[in-house]
Amino acid sequence: MIVRIPFNKPSIVGNELDYISQAVLGGHLAGDGKFTALCNEWLERRLGAGRVLLTTSCTHALEMAALLCDIQPGDEVILPSYTFVSTANAFVLRGAKPVFVDIREDTLNIDESSIEEAVSDRTKVVVPVHYAGVSCEMDTIMDVARRHGLMVVEDAAQAVDARYKGRFLGTIGDIGTLSFHETKNFTSGEGGAIVLNDEQLIERAEILREKGTNRSQFFRGEIDRYTWVDHGSSYLPSEVVAAFLYAQLEEVNAITRRRHAIYDYYSQKLAPLEERGMVRLPYCPAEAEHNAHMYYLIVDDVDTRTRLIASLREVGIHAVFHYVPLHSSPMGQRFGYRDGDLPNTERISQRLVRLPFYYSLTRGEQDEVVRQIERFFRPNR
């Protein structure tokens, strides 16, 4: 089968190749060179964050967050089951137990009303995941966390440049984590960043990111030599990665306008199917400003989803489903979870279909996707 319309396609939108060339010819390809600094500074200005540090991935940003939260064996971390495995793994690696709670049926985000009842004397962190670039109900989550003395780590992997009540996602909790993976709005292929909203965490974050050394302080001339002072690993992306990313960040407004146009066109064209009760379209609350990260449909059941994806593939359109809930996975079962524990998560995860969505997707390609979806739902087709 030839894929005519892929699910995702990376794009050159500006000076990516020129900046990569500059990085190579500049004689510094390791981390924390010119382009890494430019990315860090750009993100700090854009987000209004105290400190942002590029990482090799959002996974590594989450692992750094777990270290900064001082996770110890036996600690508990509250998070949704409907998320990528890295959200849980980062804390499980430190010995924590993931405490999964259900999602809201409208936004597919963590159900903020279920968090407080999941808090125990072992709870240390709450991890809201901003699904599809739509914010969780952060005021409620922050209130619960502050009353119980918990840290909040925002998994904003899908939510770069999205907002909640005017504030950028990733800047509301104690720590934010971002992704620049190939499938994200702004990309470096692989890549991420950690957002430090508590200034007391900045110095240690620099040390963790530099393999547990105080090398960053040495390069700023604050100490006369650097040495091993803490845990850590090599969380720095190369300058090639940062160069590509910086070119994308320079075009953030253009990329965002284009993605919103794609998102809005899908909504316009698919609205009649929603009115007929055949599908449900994405929802964004009034207090949230999404970043047009993805476009999905929610259909009636898993059989309909399977047949729809297969029908699209037959004509060369690559649509996909998303996460298998973590609580129902083999690892989730090792923590004592079973099917039926989180009904909204299980029901939604079996019915969601993600449509092709990328910067260079054309109106003609979108029309073809919509036409084939309409064909699938046509009576007596």
Final residue of a domain: which of 188, 218, 250?
A: 250
pLDDT digits (tens, 9 = 90+) for 287-302: 999 999 999 999 999 9
368 shares a domain with 242? no
The string of DSSP letters for 59-126 reads HHHHHHHHHHTT--TT-EEEEESSS-HHHHHHHHTTTPEEEEE-B-TTT-SB-GGGHHHH--TTEEEE
pTM for this model (two decimals)? 0.96
49, 254 Cβ separation under 8 angstroms? no
292 shares a domain with 312? yes
195 shares a domain with 95? yes
With respect to residue 9, please indicate whether it lies within any of the assigned structural domains: no
Instruction: Find the mean pLDDT for residues 228-252.
Output: 95
Instruction: Find the mean pLDDT for residues 28-48.
Output: 95
With respect to residue 184, please indicate whether it lies within any of the assigned structural domains: yes
Q: How many domains does the chain have?
A: 2
Residue 126's domain is classified under what CATH number?
Answer: 3.40.640.10
What pLDDT shows up at residue 159?
A: 98
CA atoms within 13 A on the CB side of 342: 32
101 shares a domain with 202? yes
305 shares a domain with 245? no
Exposed, middle or buried, 43 (CB in 10 Å: 0-12/13-18/19+)? buried
Final residue of a domain: which of 218, 233, 250?
A: 250
299 shares a domain with 209? no
With respect to residue 87, please indicate whether it lies within any of the assigned structural domains: yes
298 shares a domain with 173? no
Q: How many Å apart are CA 207 and CA 230, to the nearest integer?
A: 7
Torsion on CA atoms 273, 276, 279, 280, rounded to nearest 10 = 100
Q: How many Å apart are CA 269 and CA 364, to the nearest integer?
A: 12
Q: What is the DSSP letter of 236?
A: P
Largest CA distance in the chain: 78
Who's near 117: CB < 8 A, 6+ residues apart? none
Write down the residue that tokens 């999404």 correspond to. 290
With respect to residue 8, please indicate whether it lies within any of the assigned structural domains: no
221 shares a domain with 261? no
Domain span including residue 346: 252-377
Instruction: Find the mean pLDDT for residues 120-130.
Output: 98
283 shares a domain with 367? yes
Compute CA 237 distance to the chain's CA centroid, rounded to the nearest angstrom.
18
Buried b (16+ CB within 10 A) or exposed e, 151-186: bbbbbbbbbbbbbbeeebbbbbbbbbbbbbbebbbb
With respect to residue 2, please indicate whether it lies within any of the assigned structural domains: no
Residue 366's domain is classified under what CATH number?
Answer: 3.90.1150.10
305 shares a domain with 173? no
pLDDT digits (tens, 9 = 90+) for 95-124: 999 999 999 999 999 999 999 999 999 999
With respect to residue 11, please indicate whether it lies within any of the assigned structural domains: no
End-to-end CA separation in angstroms for the chain: 22
Angle between the 58-68 and 85-92 helix axes, to the nearest 10 degrees? 30
53 shares a domain with 147? yes
What pLDDT shows up at residue 280?
A: 98
With respect to residue 10, please indicate whether it lies within any of the assigned structural domains: no
Final residue of a domain: which of 250, 279, 304?
A: 250
Is 381 a residue whose pLDDT tops 60?
Answer: no
Mean pLDDT score of the chain, rounded to an integer?
Answer: 96
Beta bridge partners of 100: 79
Q: How many Å apart are CA 242 and CA 246, to the nearest integer?
A: 6
229 shares a domain with 95? yes
pLDDT digits (tens, 9 = 90+) for 254-273: 999 999 999 999 999 999 99
With respect to residue 27, please indicate whether it lies within any of the assigned structural domains: yes
